[in-house]
Structure 1
């Protein structure tokens, strides 16, 4: 099992083999940077919304509701964005497999950046009444479509330029967008809150981090425009074997791969949004903890993630994707009750420990996850298949998780069944991991070897 997801090394990476050409080396670096910078901006936007949904939006867009009902309504808009992700994966997966990874990635970045900036300009309920939450939902859908198409392209841009020997590590680099985006969004909220004060932040300060996304998008577009198309997709174009209807084709030929890719994320994504979004509402409203202290703890955990995500991607190259990923599933399940027990102490050091450890266990899965899922699909449908499998989890896992947790807390007044919910997610993921198909043969293709092959 440890070696099942480690494709055989191509000749140029075996002892005595050749070395990558200067062109390939240069493009590998550019692809890694372009993917990581882009996903960082995308996740900055997405996490910023999650933070605002927990702390501000109930007052700004749902002021007529009780605090608990306002939180539930706010998390419902969070879920809408998750529900839109598979739509984005299908749209941009189609164009990413038909036209190319680079063009699709430029479009996703522009789309999500525009939606986020407009959120920063959106009037509240007091100004335009019920139209305010309606427009918020519309922008949230646009934002979700953008991030839904982003992940598959970013991962493939980095992975398909990489060597099969280090594919887990290369594919984990775009995953760094999560801790980096979480770090930047939390830092933006923290600094703005400090400058504006609690009242000023709730009144106008929350808009500043949203508007800053315009600057970040400009940087991201500059980086992405400099990268070339991946050798694997370029070969499909040269051989005129590009799939005409990649979304339909992948559903027809690899439905099991799509389903297991979605369910294997249950233990990673559902708890993650409890750890970084619901914890803010739970900690401030239920436990009476200081908001800024929780944000600081999240900053520490995000900083640790910049090390742990690529580390576990690298370890999956050494010991196999499934062994590393399965270890993370088990640890998340075992930590479900200790996590809330540590939070419920209200002791600063133990709360910090709970938040940091929870995200480290998450990263054990998140590091190798991109390669684990992407290697399951063939090159011609990989953007569509990997993106759909990955983003369908948003509907069954990440999107409903804060909403389910808030409903459980409202009904029981206890974290017991929230912990049981986390354990249930872990069980589902472990079964899905066992049922995942083996890597597709085209996953063994290497950028350097493809560069050496003559066009068909």
Structure 2
């Protein structure tokens, strides 16, 4: 009996690794660029706009990748529903790694500022396109291989990519700042985190080549039920579910943009924190997610993914203003506590959003639906640092202005989670049917 069960366990762990590694590299790229935007992008490429203008322009380059993300979602969502989840994910991870590595080769200096800025924007476009097709495919790769009982937990595994990438990027920046100092980091050290993305592509590609296509897509292909235009089919046949999916994703994505991008720059420029303190606090908060993400994934197997999303939204709504009130006069120990508490509650919504969204859509257009809904939420969230900065300007830097943004995200996601919990689980029905076919095809042990 052991010889028949071992391959299944090996395949399951490999699928989990293949789904997680891509989102980890995506997150590493995102956070590396976020720290770069907060500390270096403005002075290197946009100094002609003045201090405030350079900061706003650097935050806007983060948003550019999110603007083109829906285009990538349409493109790669179409491929994912037509040629398969696995093949599409191999393409997206390659584009992401190459574009990130090239950022580390951009020229700097007064004579190169314009050329470097244009090249930076173009590479952010490529990153945004690949981002559009990565997350939805990773969730489906994980969930469509899993049985019904474990599906919510496996849906949380791609979300581990965020703390993995956050800790890797933040930890590397922290070590390099400590070892090299600010002058060397500005001169050449900032390039190292970007260049490391290139060898990481090899690991990601190996893991994704080693897994099989999902049972759901195999069944759809065998039955000849693939949609000719899956994006349009998803929006046309399930418009309510599509809108709900966008709301569900807002807090999970937006809270990271707010806490790890805007709060970093705001903490240094306005509150007087040292970059090292903020990086250390963010890294500690990211390490905690290695425990909280799997825990909330496990909790989703007990009470349902939508309820876990709602739990995180309610908790974040309650602490949105107290966190920023305390941040204005916090010691380093209190700063760490605030980053931890401010990370745990949104993490509940983050960990369970994949399972909640996967349940909403038919498998024949699930890649397109998940990718586009997530991309639209990411577009809205990608401009959160910029919008929060503008709100801070309008309110004269009032301590509560970031809390308004966090509370709004929480309320919208809570509405989405409640609606999702009342909808039919079409994605689970398709996955259960595909798993049943596999069970029937398994040979009877001698």
TM-score by length of 2: 0.94
Q: Which residue of 1 aligns with 2:386?
A: 403
Deviation at 1:366, TM superposition (A): 1.0
Q: Which residue of 1 aligns with 2:341?
A: 357
Q: Which residue of 2 aligns with 1:204?
A: 188
Deviation at 1:196, TM superposition (A): 2.2
**2 CA distance for matches of 1:173 and 1:20?**
25
Which of 96, 100, 124 is the matching residue for 1:140? 124
Q: Which residue of 2 aligns with 1:54?
A: 38
Contact 2:216 2:430 in 1 (8 A): no
Q: Which residue of 1 aligns with 2:438?
A: 451
**2 CA distance for matches of 1:244 and 1:23?**
35
Deviation at 1:311, TM superposition (A): 0.8
The worse-fitting range, judged by mean Cα deviation, of 205-214 and 243-252 is 243-252
- 1:108-257 aligned within 5 A: 108-124=92-108, 126-257=110-241
Which of 100, 103, 106 is the matching residue for 2:90? 106
Which of 439, 442, 450 is the matching residue for 2:425? 439
Is residue 309 from structure 1 mapped to residue 293 from structure 2 by the alignment?
A: yes
Contact 1:373 1:390 in 2 (8 A): no
Deviation at 1:51, TM superposition (A): 1.1
**2 CA distance for matches of 1:265 and 1:42?**
17
**1 CA distance for matches of 2:21 and 2:398?**
40
**1 CA distance for matches of 2:262 and 2:22?**
26
**2 CA distance for matches of 1:280 and 1:143?**
22
Which of 363, 370, 373 is the matching residue for 2:354? 370
The superposition leaves residues 348-401 of structure 1 with CA deviations (integer Å, 9 ceiling, x where unpaired) of 1111111111111111111111010011111111111111111110122x2111
Is residue 341 from structure 1 mapped to residue 325 from structure 2 by the alignment?
A: yes
Deviation at 1:67, TM superposition (A): 2.0
The number of aligned residues is 436
Q: Which residue of 1 aligns with 2:309?
A: 325
**2 CA distance for matches of 1:159 and 1:426?**
26
Quote the RMSD (CA, aligned, Å): 1.8
Deviation at 1:278, TM superposition (A): 1.1
Contact 1:102 1:224 in 2 (8 A): yes
Unaligned runs of 5+ in 1: 1-18
The worse-fitting range, judged by mean Cα deviation, of 127-136 and 354-363 is 127-136
Contact 2:289 2:347 in 1 (8 A): yes
Contact 1:24 1:161 in 2 (8 A): no
| CA shift in 2, pair 1:21/1:445, >3 Å | farther
TM-score by length of 1: 0.92
Which of 369, 372, 376 is the matching residue for 1:392? 376
Contact 1:21 1:448 in 2 (8 A): no
Contact 2:250 2:378 in 1 (8 A): no
| CA shift in 2, pair 1:268/1:120, >3 Å | same
Deviation at 1:43, TM superposition (A): 1.1
**2 CA distance for matches of 1:219 and 1:108?**
14
**2 CA distance for matches of 1:446 and 1:34?**
23
Deviation at 1:444, TM superposition (A): 5.0
Q: Which residue of 2 aligns with 1:4?
A: none
**2 CA distance for matches of 1:55 and 1:129?**
16
**2 CA distance for matches of 1:450 and 1:342?**
55
**2 CA distance for matches of 1:20 and 1:300?**
41
Deviation at 1:208, TM superposition (A): 0.6
**1 CA distance for matches of 2:434 and 2:335?**
45
Contact 1:190 1:295 in 2 (8 A): yes
Q: Which residue of 1 aligns with 2:70?
A: 86
**1 CA distance for matches of 2:209 and 2:431?**
27
Deviation at 1:320, TM superposition (A): 1.5
**2 CA distance for matches of 1:245 and 1:23?**
36
